[in-house]
Chains A and B, each alone.
Chain A
Amino acid sequence: MQRVTRSAVRHARNCVYVNGVNGSVLSRRYSVLPPARDEEEKTMLDRMLRVDHAGEYGANRIYAGQMAILGRTQTGPLIQHMWDQEKKHLEKFNTILGEQRVRPTLLLPLWNISGFLLGACSALLGKEGAMACTVAVEESISEHYNSQIRALMEVDPERYTELLQIIKEFRDDEMEHHDTGLEHDAESVPGYFFLKTFIHTGCKAAIYISQRV
């Protein structure tokens, strides 16, 4: 019986999505995702988009923390450039979340503070520390995007073409940041291995939680 009410609710919302998209095709660009077919797909997409949004938000805050410490040094412009790209990513995800009516993660304030602290603390270790943090974070994010790309390709690559394109583009940007970090002596920071492992674990935990909460 609950299925009746739930499916009635979903059906009404899906019809409403279709109306919304059709009505607004004239006034704005094509939507990134087709309306969800059923509840399972909606849940899967919700989780993906929520964690991606949280990830970009966290990355933003990490760069903000690094800029706060190293903003006036030589590496300032480099970090600023990477930060600007992350800002663009976050903007894109904000738009997608609004369109798809995805709930943002409740832990955003937590990622705000911990991202800033991580960026600031790694920057206190100097330029190499900041670069090491960048390398570790970008590696985590790229791995995460890759697994999402794999998952979407497994389900239905044609249905999710736009979304796949966006995620691939972002993943390429993150890989570029990762390589930039390596170029700028990330590995020469003392305790590089421990720092990297610590950040990897933190990112994995953050991804796991953000999918659900």
Chain B
Amino acid sequence: MAALIRGLRAGKALRGLASVAVQAKLSSQCNRVRRGIHRAAVLRLADDFKSNSVSPPSYHEVHTAGESSSSSTQGDFSNTAAGKEYGQPNTSYQDQSGEHDEDYETEEQLQARILTASLEFVPLHGWSVEAIAAGAETLSLSAASTGMFNNGAGDLVLHFIAECNSQLAATLAEQQNQIQLGQAEPKKTAEFLRDAVDLRLRMLIPYIDTWPQAMSILLLPHNIPDSLKHLSTMVDDIWYYAGDRSTDMNWYTRRAALTGIYNTTELVMVQDSSPDFEETWAFLDNRIKDVVNMANTAKQVQATGEAVVQGLMGAAITLKNLTGMNQRR
């Protein structure tokens, strides 16, 4: 598809060149120049198609039609590319192997690899298709592989978030193992939550300059379900490893509280300019303290309520005794 567009662009370029040449004096020299330019353009396009031909075969299948329908000046070049393609016995979309690695790799794994490689270009290009293209090129794939990603920058951001969350879950699991093996002390809930959120937010530090862009991408309507799912999975993981096994409304209130803490701290972090984000961690500490206070207050209110009810019942029974209503006649 992208190759078709390139072919069209090249065609336009050729026509442009031709028109420029026409505007110049129509001398035999000019004609020679024109033919030379034409040939150079053809060769450049041919090079492009050649470089495309070393990219994964699945991509070939998508644009073979495009190739063959693009300008016929490419003649033998497109034929060899197509011939190479049809010569391969296995052209199933699922079952592909990149020309550069030996192992069998699924499309999803390939996409994951490309996106991981693209992350290092995010500080330069932002969360965009250009970063993905640059990442693809470091893996010796054509920049046109960005066509694989229907969601473009959204795919990159979601992939990054998923990676961060997996890393967080793995670290928390490791810590839990350590505690169960007796090699570490179990932390109090507040401290555990603070450390977990701290750990997860520190993963954003390399990309903190472009993170507002990522956040706005996540707020796009078609990305909201996925970003919410990742957020809820992360919060559930943190609470699970903090030891929460509640099966009543506490399950919901705790996760809601942690979601609030995480989102607000993330926002503070994005506009924090203090050294090593001290203000952010101070903000986080304060929010955790608030939640702990609220939980304690709720417990106190409940205990007080129960005590009051008991007191009222006692008063009612005393009254009944005093008025003689409790006696059996």
Contacts and interface: CB of A to CB of B under 8 A. Distances in A.
Contact of A27 (B108, B163, B165, B180): B180
B280 interface: no
A5 B177 CA distance: 25
A19 B179 CA distance: 13
A1 B169 contact: no
Interface of B: 108, 111-112, 149-151, 155, 158-159, 161-163, 165-166, 169-170, 173, 176-177, 180-181, 226, 229-230, 233, 236-237, 240, 245-249, 251-252
Contacts of B155: 1
Contact of B247 (A4, A20, A94): A94
Contacts of B163: 8
A191 interface: no
A72 interface: no
Interface centre among B111, B166, B229, B230 (most CB of A within 10 A): B166
A113 interface: no
B158 A104 contact: no
Contacts of A109: 249
Nearest to B245: A98
| Complex A-B, nearest 7 residue pairs according to Cβ-Cβ distance, in ascending order | A98-B245, A12-B166, A5-B162, A1-B155, A4-B108, A16-B173, A104-B247
B149 A1 contact: yes
Contact of A16 (B111, B151, B169, B229): B169
A1 B111 contact: yes
B-side interface mostly: helix
Contact of A24 (B159, B180, B245, B249): B180
A184 interface: no
B176 A23 contact: yes
A92 to B, nearest CB: 11
A48 interface: no
10 contacts: A1-B150, A1-B159, A5-B161, A5-B226, A16-B170, A16-B173, A27-B180, A95-B245, A98-B246, A99-B245
B171 to A, nearest CB: 11
A9 B251 CA distance: 21
B177 A19 contact: yes
Nearest to A5: B162
A98 to B, nearest CB: 3
A163 interface: no
Nearest to B112: A4
Nearest to B251: A104
A29 interface: no
Contacts of B251: 103-104
Interface in A1-43: 1-9, 11-13, 15-16, 19-20, 23-24, 27
A146 B237 CA distance: 33
A19 to B, nearest CB: 5
Nearest to A18: B173
Contacts of A95: 245
A108 B248 contact: yes
A106 interface: yes
A97 interface: yes
A53 interface: yes
Given A23-B180, A101-B240, A9 B233 contact: yes
A138 B229 CA distance: 37
Given A20-B173, A53-B247, A97-B247, A8 B180 contact: no
A72 to B, nearest CB: 13
Interface in A101-141: 101, 103-104, 106, 108-109
B177 A12 contact: no
A61 to B, nearest CB: 12
Nearest to A10: B233
A56 to B, nearest CB: 10
A23 B177 contact: yes
Contacts of A99: 245
Nearest to A98: B245
Contact of A4 (B159, B169, B246): B159
Interface string A67-105: 000000000000000000000000001110111010110
B259 to A, nearest CB: 14
A98 B161 CA distance: 26
A104 to B, nearest CB: 5
Given A1-B149, A1-B155, A16-B170, A9 B165 contact: yes
